[in-house]
Structure 1
């Protein structure tokens, strides 16, 4: 049994361990005590925040906790809006045509153009499940519960939701895509550039990044081969997001070339297929449907995954007293739920 809840100050040691375990390329969790502490404080403030008419960059960071042991199994987050305070960069992969009618020559070339097109979007981020817990449906729940939060609190988020997928890099943190940029523009290795971005020092991007479109065919063959490709550990996450309706529209990370996928919040499958259900307390759960369930709170948010009876016609869902306590709900209270598969 596990519960997903807002991160708390007491989770600092475990979150630091997760940052260390996640490795290079996991920009949203830099291995830095002060920054991780600040990230937790920001999340705590975000969960306590009142809804305002003005858009605010809130960071909702959650942890999955093993109820029996109290261990933190993984983490997952949502940024309400990105790029409002600091520039949010991507490369857009487009094309240019070189055409000479006189010489009867027509060539197309792929180009990478630095842009801020996703400014103001909401972002799914910081998804990491520790290796020992990667079994059963835990990974799907840790990703998908966020769609219940988005569905219930849409007024806090943008219509466009994105997810930056980790690009290709080796066990030493070397990125073929960055290697070319490093050689010609940055004189800085990938882990260092990745770390600086993670701690919020992004000025160097505007200062050193090439100002004009980069012709892809000028990159090394190794760099060209990884544009829009994901790290092997990220493939399951990408597959899940695609099944939810996220699509790749030729935007890639400026460091490792990994793809960014997007969806309209109203078109995300779990958002569309979630609904409000009244809680029905039972002594024992019957094996019926695998579901994800969340209460309707922001500050005291709780979610979990279980197999139970969910009556689509009566709009009721069965919980034992233990599960109801886990979700901070009582008989008759409403929860938001959706089928896991």
Structure 2
């Protein structure tokens, strides 16, 4: 059985180890102890009654190895992005110019630096340790975020977005950065990523050009990766699209990775998941259909993936192990407890481990 829960201080060493395997370009998981301590503290506050009032919050959740209890994966929600420091994107747009004397009309695509996602909610930090990857894990981690949005809609903004890592070559180099970003910053791609993660975005305001950049003036290898996800992020993009997310012309400032967005209440898992009665039953077998379940608890939030059966009266029948994982007290009748659930149909493209 898979269990997702908020990160805790006891996870610090596991999170440090996890971030060292992530690879280049994932700004939300730097291998920095102080950064992780802040993220854990922010998550503890977010999953509290006081946290619901904060305009900016971090809901960083981890996937536990059921055998060892160690962290083997991660997924997160960030609210109020851009409110404390600018959240920059490139917006792809088209400029049209014409000359009547020559009877010529030309269109030119340009990249303009914008802050259009200010105040939005971002989903990201989806990762699974390579040795634990198996079909369905990425999909479960991705959709757990949307169960949380369904459980606590008042905590998340109406617009939800995701920023996918851009395409890189086998050596981890970004063609867009090498041909654009490096010209203005004079530093390595990973150094730029680390600077954003640890020091913020002020250096972008200081050095990045404020005027539109004509895409046609960039080398072909840079043009080709604008809006193209990293190979490891392509399945995550497919899953997000299945949830209703769409590309609206925004790409990452550094590597050109696509950003996608969806209205919170239109996300498939948010819209289709339901709260219902649950009951432990000895008739539920390990090979029964799997369901995602969340306990709706602010203090001890849990999401599990477990076998279950939907009874004729609408009650969801679960195993004792699932009830334990959801921290339910089964010493009395708990059929009226608010459990959110949804059938888990594995997507053939669900082997996503970085988004």
**Helix, strand or coil at the partner of 1:256:** coil
**Helix, strand or coil at the partner of 2:50:** coil
CA drift at 1:317: 1.1
Choose which of 330, 334, 337 in structure 1 pairs with 2:338. 334
CA drift at 1:173: 3.0
1:270-289 → structure 2 map (5 Å cutoff): 270-286=269-285, 287-289=287-289
**Helix, strand or coil at the partner of 2:277:** strand
Answer yes or no: is the 8 Å Cα contact 2:168–2:230 preserved in 1: yes
**Helix, strand or coil at the partner of 1:309:** strand
Q: TM-score, normalised by structure 2?
A: 0.92
Distance 1:188 1:247 in 2: 32
1:253-278 CA distance string (max 9 Å, x none): 00000000000011111111100011
Distance 1:164 1:314 in 2: 41
Distance 2:136 2:306 in 1: 9
CA drift at 1:49: 4.1
Distance 1:85 1:28 in 2: 15
Correspondence for 2:22: 22
Correspondence for 1:69: 68
- Larger RCO: 1 or 2 (CA < 8 Å, sep 6+): 2
Q: Which runs of 5+ in 2 are unaligned?
A: 346-355
Answer yes or no: is the 8 Å Cα contact 1:173–1:190 preserved in 2: no
CA drift at 1:132: 1.8
Q: TM-score, normalised by structure 1?
A: 0.96
Answer yes or no: is the 8 Å Cα contact 1:73–1:133 preserved in 2: yes
1:42-70 CA distance string (max 9 Å, x none): 11121124265x55111000011022221
Distance 1:203 1:49 in 2: 32
266-275 or 284-293: bigger deviation: 284-293
CA drift at 1:182: 3.5
2:292 matched to 1:292? yes
Distance 1:303 1:173 in 2: 34
Answer yes or no: is the 8 Å Cα contact 2:307–2:319 preserved in 1: no
**Helix, strand or coil at the partner of 1:239:** helix
Answer yes or no: is the 8 Å Cα contact 2:306–2:322 preserved in 1: no
**Helix, strand or coil at the partner of 1:119:** coil
Distance 1:183 1:334 in 2: 52
Correspondence for 1:116: 115
Answer yes or no: is the 8 Å Cα contact 1:182–1:189 preserved in 2: no
Answer yes or no: is the 8 Å Cα contact 1:43–1:61 preserved in 2: yes
> How many residues were matched structurally?
339
**Helix, strand or coil at the partner of 2:92:** strand
1:93-128 CA distance string (max 9 Å, x none): 000012011110111000001000000100101110
